[in-house]
Amino acid sequence: MSQATYSYRLFSRGDFSAFWALFTDNLVNLLILSGVCQFVFQMPAEIVFGRIVPGAAVAILAGVAVYTIMAGRAAQRHGRDVTALPYGLSTPVMFVYLFGVIGPIYWATQDPLLAWQVGIGAGFMGGIVAALGAIIGPFLKRITPRAGMLGTLCGIALVFIGSVPLAEIFENPIIGFTSLLFILWGLIGRFRLPGNVPAGLVAIGIGTVIAVFLGKSSFTTDGIGFYPPVPYLGDMIAGIQYLFANPELFLVLIPVQIYNFIETMNNVESAEAAGDEYPVAICQLTDGAGTMLGALFGSPFPTTVYIGHPAYKRLGGHAGYIIGVAVVIAAAAFLGFLSLLAGLIPIAAAAPVLVFVAVSLITNTGYAVKPAHMAAVAFAILPHISNFLIIKWGALVNALRSTGIEGLPQLGDDALTAALLTEGAHYEGHLALSQGAIITGLVWGAIVADVIDGRFRHAGYFALGAAVMSSVGIIHSFTLQMPQLDGITVGYLIVGLFMIVYPKIAPQEDLEHRIIVPDEPDFIDDDTPAFDRA
C-alpha cells in the first residue's frame, strides 16, 4: 500500500486490551503518589486531589496529543499500522522526587505547602534538563549498542515492574492469583476469553469483585467534586526561588533528570526493536515539555515515554489506547474519582497486568538483540538488583524504627556496614551500583556488547565516559561533586585504557580467533572474528 493512499486508524480492537495495561500502570502511580503525599507528607486533599493530580493529568493529556500525532506521521511514513508510544509519569523518578525533594523539605520544615511548592519548582527545572537531552539523545542512541539500552530497561522491568507486583500478588493470593490466571491465559498464553473480552479488563474486574466480597475493597464518594486544572505560576516561582537559595537540591535533580532522558532514549529504542521507529530528540523534548507543563499546573512529577511498548504492540494497540488512558485519567482527576478508584480497585488485582508488561519487555529484548549479546543484557540488569536491595534495606531500617525500636544505626554506619559484610551483604558495593543504576547498566551493557563484537575502542570510550561520570558523581554517588580520583573512577580508567591500547599491540592472531571452552554453553560457538558477524 502506498504512502499516498494509506490511512492510519487511531482506534483498533487491540486498543481496548492495551488500554487496560497502560491505564493500570498510570493508575498505580497516581495512587502511590497521592497516598504518600497525603499520609506521609500530610498534604491536605486540596493540594493532592485539587492540584497535583489534575496537574499530572494535564501533562499526560499534552504528551498523549503529541505522541498520537507522531504515531500518525510514522504510519504515513512507513505505510503501515504502528503503535503509539506509551506515556505517563516516570515511576523511578517519581520516587526520587517524593523522597529526595519533597520529603526532605517537609521533614525539615513541617510545611506541606512549601514542600509542594518546591516540588513543582523542581519539576519545572528538571523538565528543562530533560528537554536538553534532545541535544545529545540522537548521538547517544546512534553509538550505544541495543543490548545496553534494552538490558538496563530489563533490569527496571525485572525488579520494579515485575517482582514487586508479583510479591503483592502473593500477599493477597486469592485476589492476585485469580487476576493473574486471566493475564496468563489471555495475554501471555494468548488464548481467547468468552466474547473475546480483554484479559486485562477481566483480571481487574474479577479481582475487584473478589476484593469486595472479602472486605478488602471500599466504596466512598467523599472525594468526588470538580477540580479544574489551574496554573500555579506564583507557587512555582516561589519553589524555584527556594531551590536557588538551597542549590544542594540541584544535586538531586540533575542526575535524576539525566536518568529520565536516557530512560526515554532507551524506551524509544525498545519501540524501534519492536518495529516502530520514532525520533528520539522529539520524544525527549516532549517529555521535558510535558514535565514543565505539569509543574505549572501543580504536579511535581516528571513524565516520560513508558517502558513496555512491545507489550502494547503485541496487544494490537494503535493510538486509541493512549488516547483512552489520557481521557479517563483526566476525567478521574478533574472529577475527583481517583480517591474512589483507590479504595475500590485492590493493588493485587492490577498487579498481574504490570507483571505481564515486565515479562513482555524482557521477552521482546531476547528477540530484539542477537543471541551473543544476551551476555550484555544480563550484565546491564545487575545494577538494578543492587538498587532494589538498597531501597529495601532502607525500608527495613525505617520499618524497624517506626515500630518503636530505638538506637538503630543508619544505613552506612561503619559498624553496621562491617556487620553486614560479615553476613555476606556487601552494602558499600551495592550502594555504589545503585546510584545511577540505569546509566551504569547502560554503560556496562554497551561495554560487554562492544567487546563481544570486537569493537574494543568503542568499549574503551564507554569506560572512559563512565570514569568521567563517576568522578563528578553522576553515577556511583548520592550527589554531584568536584572531580575526584576515587577507586571506582580509577577502575573505569584501567578498563578504558586497556580496551583502547592493548588491541593495538596484541598479536593479531589473538584478536581474530576466540578461545572455545569445551562443554560451555555459548552462542559464540566458533572462533571467527566478532566484527565479521552480522
Split at pLDDT 50, 70, 90, the class of 232 is: very high
Residue with the bigger pLDDT between 102 and 180: it is 180
- Residue the block writes with cell 519487555: 361
Q: Give yes or no for a contact between 482 and 472, defined as CB atoms under 8 angstroms apart.
A: yes
pLDDT of residue 18 exceeding 90, the answer is no
Ranking 94-108, 454-468, 511-525 by mean pLDDT, the lowest is 511-525
Q: How large a percentage of the chain has pLDDT more than 70?
A: 93
> How much is the pLDDT for 519?
58
332-336 contact pairs (CB < 8 A, 24+):
332/57, 333/30, 333/49, 333/53, 333/54, 333/56, 333/57, 333/227, 334/54, 334/57, 334/226, 334/227, 334/228, 334/229, 335/224, 335/225, 335/226, 335/227, 336/49, 336/223, 336/224, 336/225, 336/226, 336/227
Predicted local confidence at residue 33, as pLDDT: 83
Q: How confident is the model at residue 514 (pLDDT cuts 50, 70, 90)?
A: confident
**13, amino acid identity:** R
List pLDDT tens digits, range 188-231. Answer: 888 888 877 878 888 888 999 999 999 888 777 766 788 899 99
Q: Residue 88, SS3?
A: strand
Read off the pLDDT band of 239 (50, 70, 90).
very high
Give the closest residue to 320 by CA, choosing from 62, 4, 59, 20: 20
Angstrom distance (rounded) from CA 415 to CA 421 = 10
Q: Would the pLDDT of 530 be above 50?
A: no
Extract the C-alpha cell encoding 126.
528538571
| pLDDT, greater one: 34 or 503 | 503
Is residue 62 predicted with pLDDT exceeding 80? Answer: yes
Identify the DSSP state of 514.
P
pLDDT at 444 over 90: yes
pLDDT tier, 252 (very low <50, low <70, confident <90, very high otherwise): low
Question: If 0-12 CB within 10 Å is exposed, 13-18 middle and 19+ buried, where does residue 44 land?
Answer: middle
Which SS3 state, helix, strand or coil, does residue 473 take? coil
Summarised one tens digit per residue, pLDDT across range 374-416 is 999 999 999 999 988 988 888 888 888 888 888 888 888 889 9
User: In DSSP terms, which residues pair with 305 in a beta bridge?
Assistant: 87
Predicted confidence (pLDDT) at residue 366 exceeds the cutoff of 80: yes
Contacts 24+ apart (CB under 8 A), 418-426: none
Q: Is the pLDDT of residue 241 over 60?
A: yes
Mean pLDDT value across the chain: 85
What's the pLDDT at 255?
62
The residue assigned the cell 562492544 is 450
The Cα diameter of the chain in Å comes to 76
3-class secondary structure, 144: coil
pLDDT tens digit sequence for 306-329: 877 888 888 888 999 999 999 999
Nine-digit cell string for 180: 493473574
What does the pLDDT look like over 153-167, one tens digit per residue? Answer: 788 888 877 888 899
**Alpha carbon 360 to chain centroid distance?**
15
pLDDT score for 517: 63
Please give the average per-residue pLDDT across 17-32, as a whole number: 81
Q: Residue 495 has what pLDDT?
A: 97
pLDDT of residue 523: 58
What lies within 8 Å, CB to CB, of 520 at 6+ separation is none
**pLDDT value of residue 502:** 93
